[in-house]
Structure 1
């Protein structure tokens, strides 16, 4: 099969949470948080990060977001407006919506995913409301189909999708013993965080709980994808995802 001339080869980035330097920054409100950047865009702005909220931390006041933010809560309990959510919750604040006051009830850790052009302003009273999913695993899963073949044993849960661009965020459960069909690429940026278990896209990038993988758009990867015990992955993309065999 002929391939486009502009494909990159073997440039995926894999890093483990304990290898990322922690920064103290202010994102919401005035109180700093502990931030471990996962990926930055070419202009240096933050695309995704792990964030630690100490018990008692608060954003202080509602704020309006210029770009969509998504939050996956890994541990702890957080009050988000009038709702209290715990580990496994997933939150989406659309662009232009007001983000309610967020308060950490105990030490908490989350994944932040945000669109380009993020900026904050005073709450505007917009009608657009955040989405709160108390437990993302309660979303009905379905079996993915790749190249017309159902991937039996897999479970995909779509947490969010942008109706305009097709960008999405999903949970993927991969069964123990799975071995991929070989090298492939995607037309969009793919970011993956390992929540449970183990997996490797190739022999040089082993992933465990807390590992992050970035597969740049139009880059060939997945040369020896294997999981021994199975895994649960949080995946997000900046456009409509597809898998093309190489």
Structure 2
């Protein structure tokens, strides 16, 4: 999810464009909120025009959809505003229509938007991870203590999805009227947010109104912030969320990254020492999730051959390790 820092952006300031990618039926429009130009992964505001129809089909990427207004119909069931869908790659969804039109937020997580007509799942699709939930009526607000340290009191969340491997999550959040937090925060993950309703004020970036959006990469300072009348928003991260709080508005992303590493060294010294081995070759192996053994900077499986992981350590000398299929933690041989 390598995307540039976008903050603030207001989708009301731009017009919808027609979706013209292969496979998508006519009658769908979009506003691009953020885009990974390497993979095509993106976040969009979308509009389905009245009478829109889409046959049964699937995507080659994970897709998330949150209905902002109007309604869509999958099969014989109608889903109105507040409904959230997480559709794993390769999972076939029933025919979809929108007789009166709808608008929503749509996210493609690991590849460009795609639609392939099909009434069957891909053989490797993870249908058990499909999520369809009415976030407004079907879930209760909870305090935001899934993160520790947590934000100031007055911010509530509804967790919509948490990735079982990376702990990337999608959620609804709200700020109560007169909410404020006086410290500064950054994270070691990317974070994005869309204001469904309401305005918040951020010291570094100004006001973010209804329709406001940001994509904030790791290590970026944000805060202090406040909201006079409250906010309802939709938020996502690309891995587990941790709040690094401080009170230095002038620290740089590099300094924030070094501070985080220093905290890891203090809190988990044995893990830190193993990771920063003298020759830089302690590559993790997870017998439970081997696809993440040799992750690249975006958190995805390495792009080498099926048997070798090719990379360098910034010295211009590429080398390779054998990919391990063992159930233990032994390292592959360096070549």
1:100 aligns with 2:97: no
- DSSP 3-state at the match of 1:242: coil
Q: What is the TM-score with the length of structure 2 in the denominator? A: 0.64
CA–CA distance in structure 2, aligned partners of residues 52 and 185 of structure 1: 33
Q: TM-score, normalised by structure 1?
A: 0.86
Alignment of 1:181-192 (within 5 A): 181-192=182-193
The aligned counterpart of 1:244 is 244
Larger relative contact order (CA 8 Å, sep ≥ 6): 1
Seen in structure 2, the aligned counterparts of structure 1 residues 174 and 133 have a Cα distance that, compared at 3 Å, is same
Distance in 1 of aligned mates of 2:11 and 2:141 = 28
Query: What are the Cα deviations for residues 162-216 of structure 1, in whole angstroms up to 9, with x where unaligned?
Result: 1111111011111111111322111111111111221122264311111112211
2:37 to 37, 42, 52: 42
Rg bigger for which structure? 2
| Partner of residue 75, structure 1 | 69
With over 3 angstroms needed to count, the CA separation of the structure-2 counterparts of 1:150 and 1:210, relative to structure 1, is: closer
5+ residue gaps, structure 1, are: 1-10
Q: Which has the higher strand share?
A: 1
Query: CA RMSD, aligned part only?
Result: 2.2
Matched residue count: 234
Which structure shows the bigger proportion of residues in helix conformation? 2
* Aligned equivalent of 1:226: 226
Q: Are residue 113 (structure 1) and residue 107 (structure 2) matched?
A: yes
Tell me which moved more, 171-180 or 129-138.
Answer: 129-138
- Which residue, 52, 56, 75 being the options, matches 2:51? 56
Ranges in structure 2 where 5+ consecutive residues have no aligned partner: 247-335
Q: CA deviation at 1:12?
A: 5.0
Q: 1:122 to 1:188 in 2, by over 3 A?
A: same
Work out whether residues 190 and 215 of structure 1, in 8 Å CA contact, stay in contact via their aligned partners in 2: yes
Residues of 2 paired with 1:148 and 1:33: CA distance?
A: 41
The corresponding residue for 2:235 is 235
* Post-superposition CA distance 1:46-105 (Å, at most 9, x none): 41000111110111x211222211111000111023310111111111122112221112
1:31 matched to 2:32: no
Q: Using the TM superposition, give the Cα deviation of residue 26 of structure 1 relative to its aligned residue in structure 2, in angstroms.
A: 3.4
Task: Confirm or deny: 8 A CA contact 2:39 2:111 kept in the other structure.
Answer: no
Question: Is the CA contact 2:204–2:222 (under 8 Å) kept in the aligned structure 1?
Answer: no
